[in-house]
Structure 1
Amino acid sequence: MPVPEVAAPARQSAQQPIAPMTTLRLGGPADRVVVASSAAEVVDAVRAADEAGEPVLVLGGGSNVVVADAGFRGTVVRVASRGLDTAIRPDGSVLLTVEAGEDWDDVVATTVDRGLGGLECLSGIPGRTGATPVQNVGAYGVEVADLLVDVDLYDRAARTVREHVPAAELGLGYRTSVLKNTDAAVVLRVRFALPGGPGSAPLRYPELAAALGARQGQRVPAASARAAVLDLRRSKGMVLDAADHDTWSAGSFFTNPVVDAGAVPGGPDTEGMPRWPAASDRVKLSAAWLIQHAGFARGHAGPGGRVALSGRHVLALTNRGDGTTEDLLALAAEVRAGVLDRFGVDLHPEPVLVGCRLP
């Protein structure tokens, strides 16, 4: 799918608040907002801003971003491209090609409705498809790296479109890739290989297997797994609901820390602490467990009660309706400091921080 050299002008507006474009409902205004409804429009909008010497913020669903109260001095390019295609490959698997601006949960729902398993464990995750390889999105034992074939990118330095960049070149790791925390390239299109057939991926996550009354490693109908995942996410406030402040978040604010085996906290305070083996003799710990056992309960309030930990899941930092980014970062800093003081483990934020940082 080559990107046309010429595209229709994208829709533009000036001094538009960023907050309504994010799941946190936080962030000041942008100097200019361009809504790009095709890959070609995304390329043209980013290229035009680069040629004008303007900073660029590429924004999809705004689900994994924290924007400063001062806003963004430059152009926000909102990726709104649409399109989804499936093709059966010679081995019976299915190549799924998705434009970057497609809503991710809609993509998962569509594949399940078409009788295609593989993505069901990633149900309910907010945001656009183009962000999924950047973050190497994962949940309930499945991550994008398991299924990603390649991506089409706009290389800003070379001012060219690179098609079919293999997943192996993206440095996919735990909630990261070479595309994260850099603006060198913009994802235009994503391709996944689905196994074909209506069965789910093997159930790897104990909580999900238990909810389905199944064994770990077992496959179930993808539709059943999707329904169970959505139920679990709702119970944790992780499915967006405009009327529910507990869902006004960026999802999990901190990643699960991965530490050297010799740095795993010990002592009586750590009895029952979840841990999982990671690569190179390292160990992954549960950020939620560390936060709770450092004394932060669900609903723990930040400055003025304007922000708080979710009442259902301590990993979600929520805007209670009138919070600010400064409030949210103050709460995050309090939590991070408490965990470091209690367990000697430094937590790292999962969302991209735009024009701001943890104090």
Structure 2
Amino acid sequence: MTTPVPLAGYTTLRLGGPASVFLEATKSTEVIEAVRAADQAGEPLLVLGGGSNLVIGDAGFDGTVVRIATRGRGHDPLGDGLVRLTVEAGENWDDVVADAVANDLGGLEALSGIPGLVGATPVQNVGAYGVEVADLLLSVDLLDRRSGQVRQVSTAELGLGYRTSVLKGTDDAVVLRVSFALRTGGQSAPVRYAELANTLGVELGARVPAAQVRDAVLALRTGKGMVLDAEDHDTWSAGSFFTNPIVAEADLPRVLSLIHARLGPEIKVPRYPGGAGRVKLSAAWLIERAGFLRGHEAADGRVSLSHKHTLALTNRGKADTEDLLTLAREVRDGVRGAFEVDLHPEPVFVGCNL
């Protein structure tokens, strides 16, 4: 008889009930075999990576969990100062970034310190400090569960958008490996994020040694509790829990009037381009102005907003998933009630929802 395996130890939130069956796949062939076997048997299947963007319900997962633990990296010249970096899905993301920087390859450095595995990066279109995976991605090798075949898809086929892709929210395909185009010479991508530029002491658009950008990003993320540390409960989180909301330009005056009515007409509301006819607002700014400050607690203190960053919902050590969801609902409903802006969660939910 199979012994259920607790999943809390496989998520950065340290939350989640048991899996009925738990398999670890160290080769892509093992991933393919395990997924095909579960599909042929009609069993529920959860493909697990680093667990950094995952909320698992307290009841766990009544099916097979396949944990991706594949390894391997390769470099191929593309010409014109570019290199194709191909990485297996089970590689630790920050290790890959560190290795790219150490090998004088530029492009990934602003994505330093992000927890999780490589396979999740195109699914979420992972981004930070002005850079997204979409800027660097060449292709993704997928196991298509509908056909049972492995195929390579281009960036254009992935529907990459702000923290999303056609792969997010569906289990139709499993990422096996990912390829990126990086630039040789050791210089960073253009610095596009004001906070990072200020930290580096350069103008927006400047290129600097990639190692300098990595060091600066790691320092910034550490200050916000966004670099994993087992001793720091502010990092027992799923990272940024809510995405920055995007509103239609036509709705912006109504939102601004609610903000100014609550906070005063002199308040400047941070906003950024959100695509054609849309504006992106700051989720962290809205959360704080709705009255949820750093360290705000719920469930008798078992969960709280991070003491360093209001976008992170944290497990203080004795929480369960329902405690976390209680806090998430309070914050979501509070922002909606104050400003009529909907916050959308960034993590993937398994066996639970908001």
The verdict on a shared fold, with TM-score over 0.5 as the criterion, is yes
Displacement, 1:91? 2.3
Aligned mates of 2:78, 2:132 — CA distance in 1: 22
Map 1:136-215 to 2 at 5 A. 136-163=125-152, 165-215=153-203
- Aligned with 1:274 (options 270, 276, 282): 270
CA-based RMSD of the aligned residues comes to 1.1
Residue 328 (structure 1) aligns with:
324
Displacement, 1:211? 0.5
Displacement, 1:176? 0.2
Residue 238 (structure 2) aligns with:
250
Q: Deviations over 1:235-258 (max 9, x none)?
A: 000000001100000000000000
Map 1:84-163 to 2 at 5 A. 84-163=73-152
Displacement, 1:13? 6.6
Residue 65 (structure 1) aligns with:
54
CA change 1:247–1:30 in 2 (3 A) is: same
Does 2:338 align with 1:342? yes
Aligned mates of 2:31, 2:134 — CA distance in 1: 24
- Aligned with 1:226 (options 214, 239, 243): 214
Q: Deviations over 1:170-221 (max 9, x none)?
A: 0000000000010000000100001222000100000000001111100110
The one-letter code sitting in structure 1 at the alignment partner of 2:315 is N
Aligned mates of 1:57, 1:116 — CA distance in 2: 34
The one-letter code sitting in structure 1 at the alignment partner of 2:74 is D
Q: Deviations over 1:155-177 (max 9, x none)?
A: 001011113x1010000000000
Aligned mates of 1:45, 1:77 — CA distance in 2: 7
Q: Deviations over 1:42-99 (max 9, x none)?
A: 1111111111111110011000000000000001100000001111112220000000
Give the TM-score of the pair, scaled to structure 1.
0.95
Residue 318 (structure 1) aligns with:
314
- SS across alignment from 2:52: coil
Gaps of 5+ in 2: none
Gaps of 5+ in 1: 1-11
Residue 63 (structure 2) aligns with:
74
Residue 297 (structure 2) aligns with:
301
Runs of 4+ in 1 over 3 A off after TM superposition: none
Aligned mates of 1:275, 1:13 — CA distance in 2: 52
* 8 Å contact from structure 1 (residues 14, 33) kept in 2: no
Aligned mates of 2:33, 2:204 — CA distance in 1: 47
Displacement, 1:261? 0.8
* 8 Å contact from structure 1 (residues 13, 33) kept in 2: no
The one-letter code sitting in structure 1 at the alignment partner of 2:256 is G
- Aligned with 2:21 (options 32, 52, 59): 32
The one-letter code sitting in structure 2 at the alignment partner of 1:196 is T
Aligned mates of 1:304, 1:182 — CA distance in 2: 35
Aligned length: 346
* 8 Å contact from structure 1 (residues 16, 33) kept in 2: yes
* 8 Å contact from structure 1 (residues 203, 216) kept in 2: yes
Aligned mates of 2:24, 2:45 — CA distance in 1: 13
Residue 9 (structure 1) aligns with:
none
The one-letter code sitting in structure 1 at the alignment partner of 2:274 is A
Aligned mates of 2:147, 2:256 — CA distance in 1: 50
- SS across alignment from 2:151: strand
Aligned mates of 1:243, 1:52 — CA distance in 2: 42
